[in-house]
Amino acid sequence: MRLSSKILKNVDGLNAWAYTDQWVIRSNDGVGESVSLYFQLVDQDREDIRYILAAGATVQVKFPNLDDDQVITLNASFPFADDRSILRVDLAADQVPASGAVKFTLTEGGVTKSWSVMNAMRVEKTNSECC
């Protein structure tokens, strides 16, 4: 089984969301936005069918950075009790990831699996002093 993550946008409910290539957030002088980032786990060996996590499974999301002090690692949560394939991580305004790949780690039944989604994060730099 080759797991991966599909990035979601415009998540308004269990049946109200869309796929996208990447999350996009904005940053102004190192201060970002408090945002919830959603993703769906899929099994690539089965035509990207959603992967339902077992009870007790955990997922960590890591936003790598060239500066080790700025790496962000968050535990994902299940926003919808009726679909354990969709997960969410919440970034605080002071947590500004770097653009690029995002790493996911699943621990389920004592087995750990990891994968990366390339170019999953884009951080748009804004300038508050622009006209």
Kindly report, residue by residue over 32-68, the tens digit of the pLDDT: 889 999 999 999 999 999 999 999 999 999 999 999 9
| pLDDT at 126 (0 to 100) | 83
| pLDDT at 32 (0 to 100) | 84
Domains of the chain: 3-125 (2.60.40.10)
Phi, psi of 46 (to 5 degrees): -125, 45
Phi, psi of 23 (to 5 degrees): -80, 145
Q: What distance in Å separates the CA atoms of residue 6 and residue 18, rounded to the nearest whole number?
A: 10
Asked whether the beta carbons of 112 and 3 are under 8 A apart, the reply is: no
Contacts of 10 (CB under 8 A, 6+ apart): 16, 17, 18
Average of per-residue pLDDT across 19-30: 91
